[in-house]
Structure 1
Amino acid sequence: MLNPLIAASGLLMLLAAPASTPEPLDWDMVAEQLQQQRLTIHVPRVTFRTTTIIVRPARPVALVEKKADDCVKMEDLAGFSVNRFDSVDLVLKNGALLRAKLGNDCPALGFYGGFYVKANKDRKMCAKRDSIRSRSGRQCAVQSFASLVPAR
């Protein structure tokens, strides 16, 4: 049987020993390890449920394409819709619409079920650099972006 006096003195010796200071974290190494991880973002298709009330103007609003930046932040993406053969219309969290043009060699019809985007270190999807991948595996490069605004 263990003598309680010996056990207590052993614990006291552990408490009396000087504690070694932990080594500081190398944040550059931690950031590098985090950036090496690959992240795939699924962008859902925008759908409206039957309980959603949509107020439409008397006349449909015509949208025109305007010049847009070459990149969009991944965290700004809320959803998308396919309205044309050669492009995917992105819905941003602030309500803005952005058209991602895919080109004639890559029809947008395969993206009805949703698509995936691999995130880069800058967490942006850029034209002429990134591509979108359909759920079936088809991959299409984004040629350019255009902002969709109501016609005047």
Structure 2
Amino acid sequence: MAFVLPLILAAAAPQAPPSEGLGENPPEVHEPGEWTIEWSFASLPLPAQIAAPEGRAVWNDIADAFRADPARQVRIEQRMIIRITPFAATREMLAALPQAPLATRFREKKVGKCVSVAGIAGVQIGGDDRLMLFMRDQRMIGASLEKACRARDFYSGFYLERNGDGQLCVDRDLIHSRSGASCSLSRLRRLVAIDE
């Protein structure tokens, strides 16, 4: 910057005739190929010349070159997609089968319009338009899909976007299959086994 500034100032100053700025004597030759030139500060612009309109324009250009760009606004959004996998029976569940009688019928109970996403352990198909949600607290929830949806599209589980409340709710949240189907739930019911 220290080397560039005198050049810029000299360019902004009105041009002097060639005889000005040099000493009183023309260049002298001391030895072949060697010249001596006297130079004075008279060729540099005076403060009045810098304050002139053309001098201000140069300074404005210099200031614009070093001025920072205006701040830009950046928005960062974060989405969390949750995958609910198909429910697989564990060894403990398979080992318990011979001792416990198999329940063949279930009774439905109201459970509300939402279930906790963190509480879902797995999912299975429960009919043409129904998914069975297996909860971590050993409950089974039947989730009915809206009319245009088929449960078999969700044979490999489903994805959903996490909401602020961490709930999966009827008529609010969409579940997505790996094949590209998207559905909302129309009803949730708790399934309780009936012993005969």
TM-score (norm 2): 0.55
Tell me the SS of whatever aligns to 2:159. strand
**Of 17, 32, 43, the match for 2:84:** 43
**Are residues 61 and 136 of structure 1, via their aligned partners in 2, closer, same or farther at CA, if it must alter by over 3 Å?**
same
**Are residues 62 and 82 of structure 1, via their aligned partners in 2, closer, same or farther at CA, if it must alter by over 3 Å?**
same
In the alignment, is residue 109 of structure 1 matched against residue 149 of structure 2?
no
Identity, % of aligned positions: 29
In the alignment, is residue 100 of structure 1 matched against residue 143 of structure 2?
yes
**Structure 1: runs of 5 or more not aligned:** 1-32
C-alpha contact (below 8 Å) 2:103/2:194 kept by paired residues = no
**TM alignment of 1:12-31, pairs within 5 A:** none
Please tell me whether Structure 1 or Structure 2 has the larger radius of gyration of its CA atoms: 2
> Structure 2: how far apart are the matches of 1:70 and 1:141?
12
**Structure 2: runs of 5 or more not aligned:** 1-75
- Give the CA RMSD over aligned residues: 2.1
User: Which of 1 and 2 has higher RCO (CA within 8 Å, sep 6+)?
Assistant: 1
TM-score (norm 1): 0.70
How many residues end up aligned between the 2 structures?
A: 118
C-alpha contact (below 8 Å) 1:65/1:149 kept by paired residues = yes
C-alpha contact (below 8 Å) 2:125/2:155 kept by paired residues = yes
Tell me the SS of whatever aligns to 2:112. coil
> Structure 2: how far apart are the matches of 1:90 and 1:123?
16
Tell me the SS of whatever aligns to 1:53. helix
After superposition, the C-alpha distances for 1:81-125 in whole angstroms (9 at most, x for unaligned) are 102111101000011001111033211011001110111111111
Alpha-carbon deviation of 1:44? Answer: 0.6
**Are residues 140 and 50 of structure 1, via their aligned partners in 2, closer, same or farther at CA, if it must alter by over 3 Å?**
same
Alpha-carbon deviation of 1:50? Answer: 7.6
Tell me the SS of whatever aligns to 2:118. helix
C-alpha contact (below 8 Å) 2:171/2:186 kept by paired residues = yes
Alpha-carbon deviation of 1:144? Answer: 1.3
Counterpart position of 1:3: none
**TM alignment of 1:48-59, pairs within 5 A:** 48=89, 52-56=94-98, 57-59=100-102
C-alpha contact (below 8 Å) 1:87/1:103 kept by paired residues = no
Letter in 2 for 1:40: I
> Structure 2: how far apart are the matches of 1:94 and 1:120?
21
> Structure 1: how far apart are the matches of 2:91 and 2:163?
37
Letter in 1 for 2:129: D
> Structure 2: how far apart are the matches of 1:70 and 1:49?
29
